[in-house]
Amino acid sequence: MRMGEKDMRVIDLDNFKIISVNRKYTIAKYARSLILSPEYREFKKLIGLFCKKGIRFEAKPLCVHIHHSSRLDVDNPVKCIIDGLQEAGVLENDKLIEDLRVTLDRKNTGRLTVDIEYLEETA
């Protein structure tokens, strides 16, 4: 996506189970440490599968708008979704996000949209 273009919808899903950040880690078997849970790893892969292909945002500040409909708290799945976008290559690095907007609709569970745009550069 080039500068000056309007926002781009990179995910548009219905009937999608959004994972809770509370399920990000599990305790490693035979060790006293936390590891990423299989459920979390699978969620990140699914995010990548459902992203529009051939889109990559890099090297400029970004605005990301996540809209989800679930019974989770408004901020709960945000880290999981952003990690999935980065792993899929849509985001070069999540440090590029300077404006994050999250909206929640509790009525229509299972809906997820993600829009990304470059922020206007100020002189």
Q: What is the SS3 assignment for 25-61? A: EEECCCCCCEEECHHHHHHHHHHHHHCCCCCCECCCC
Nearest CA among 77, 74, 88 for reference residue 46: 88
Query: How much is the pLDDT for 103?
Result: 94
Instruction: Tell whether the model's pLDDT for residue 2 goes beyond 50.
Output: no
Q: pLDDT tens across 21-64, in order?
A: 888 888 887 777 888 889 999 999 999 899 988 889 988 899 99
Q: pLDDT tens across 67-105, in order?
A: 999 888 898 899 999 999 999 999 999 999 999 999 999
Q: Which residue has the tokens 């970004």?
A: 62
Query: How much is the pLDDT for 6?
Result: 59
Q: What is the pTM of this model?
A: 0.83
Instruction: Tell whether the model's pLDDT for residue 5 goes beyond 80.
Output: no
Query: How much is the pLDDT for 97?
Result: 95
Instruction: Tell whether the model's pLDDT for residue 1 goes beyond 50.
Output: no
